[in-house]
């Protein structure tokens, strides 16, 4: 089992550009979560999916952020247009129902 | 928004000593989980305790949960240099996991 796979590991982009983060959850896990981690705000839940359906996106900061899960093995988090304040580490995690979460290694996003 | 608050924010102890971290939360929960994060890495799940459990053990880890006080503690016994990391409690309720602010643990060899 390769765990939760995120790509890219690092992303540096200019303000205004579109950024797409990718995640492959663990096979058989029916819940997928996107978190953002910053020094100031800690770990924040952005959105989560259950059986590929978005359940709660109340943590998405604003309309510039969108997430999709077209199938059970793939999810994307898109920021368009990106801003410097979006700089953070973005984590994807997956979980079976009510179990512990398995996190990916994260994507460190820097918007300059 | 963060549900849990860890205490202390930072802790430094000598190798071999025990480390205790505390977590307080605000709302009702289904379970409470502890995670470790090494610098620059993702979070690793350590242990889960359900709301109807009071204590749980896993190797050198001991977790307690007091739902009346809305608090939990994580004890790491016989600490090792490799235990140096940030430790987060996370509460599971309303179908989602909400993380606390974390405790930065440093083990001094």
What share of residues in chain B are helix, strand, coil (percent, to 5)? 5, 60, 40
Band (pLDDT 50/70/90 cuts) for residue A1 is: low
Residue B28 falls inside a structural domain: yes
Distances B106 to A12, A89, A108, B39, B83 between C-alpha atoms, Å: 31, 22, 24, 12, 8
| Interface residues on A facing B, Cβ-Cβ cutoff 8 A | 4, 33, 35, 42-45, 48, 50, 55-56, 91, 93, 95, 98-106
CATH of the domain at B36: 2.60.40.10
- Number of folded domains that form chain B: 1
- What mean pLDDT is predicted for residues A17-26? 98
Q: What is the pLDDT of residue B1?
A: 44
Q: Does residue A96 contact residue A23 with C-beta atoms inside 8 Å? A: no
B82, burial (CB in 10 Å: exposed 0-12, middle 13-18, buried 19+): exposed
Give the tens place of pLDDT for each residue, A43-87.
Answer: 999 999 999 999 999 999 889 999 999 999 999 999 999 999 999
Angle, CA of B90, B100 and B40, to the nearest 5°? 95
Residue B49 falls inside a structural domain: yes
Residue B109 falls inside a structural domain: no
Domain of B56 in residue numbering reads as 6-103
Cis peptide before B30 (omega within 30 of 0): no
Q: Does residue B34 contact residue B87 with C-beta atoms inside 8 Å? A: yes
Residue B108 falls inside a structural domain: no
Residue B23 falls inside a structural domain: yes
Q: What is the pLDDT of residue A90?
A: 98
- Interface mutation target, options A2, A23, A42, A49, chain B, most CBs of B under 10 Å: A42
More confident residue, A99 or B92: B92
Residue B1 falls inside a structural domain: no
Q: What is the pLDDT of residue B3?
A: 62
Q: What is the pLDDT of residue A2?
A: 80
Q: What is the pLDDT of residue A89?
A: 97
Q: What are the φ and ψ backbone dihedral angles of A38, each rounded to 5 degrees? A: -135, 160
B96: nearest CA in chain A? A48
Q: pLDDT averaged over consecutive 10-residue blocks of chain B (109 residues)?
A: 75 97 93 94 94 96 96 97 96 87 95
- Interface mutation target, options B39, B85, B96, chain A, most CBs of A under 10 Å: B96
């Amino acid at each position: 089992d390769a765990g939760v796979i995120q790509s890219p590991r690092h992303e540096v982009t200019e303000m205004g550009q579109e950024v797409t983060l990718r995640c492959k959850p663990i096979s058989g896990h029916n819940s997928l979560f996107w978190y953002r981690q910053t020094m100031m705000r800690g770990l924040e839940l952005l959105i989560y999916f259950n059986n590929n359906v978005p359940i709660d996106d109340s943590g998405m900061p604003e309309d510039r952020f969108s997430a999709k899960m077209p199938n059970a093995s793939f999810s994307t988090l898109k920021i368009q247009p990106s801003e410097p304040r979006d700089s953070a580490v973005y984590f994807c995690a997956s979980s079976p129902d009510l179990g512990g979460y398995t996190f990916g290694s994260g994507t460190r996003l820097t918007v300059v | 928004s963060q549900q849990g608050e860890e205490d202390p924010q930072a802790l430094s102890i000598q190798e071999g000593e025990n480390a205790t971290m505390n977590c307080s939360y605000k709302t009702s929960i289904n379970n409470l989980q502890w995670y470790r994060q090494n610098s620059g890495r993702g979070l690793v799940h350590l242990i889960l305790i359900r709301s109807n459990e009071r204590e749980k053990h896993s190797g050198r880890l001991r977790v307690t949960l007091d739902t009346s006080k809305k608090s939990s503690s994580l004890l790491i016994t016989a600490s090792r240099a490799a235990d140096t990391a940030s430790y987060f409690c996370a509460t599971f309720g309303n179908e989602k996991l909400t993380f606390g602010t974390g405790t930065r643990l440093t083990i001094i060899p």
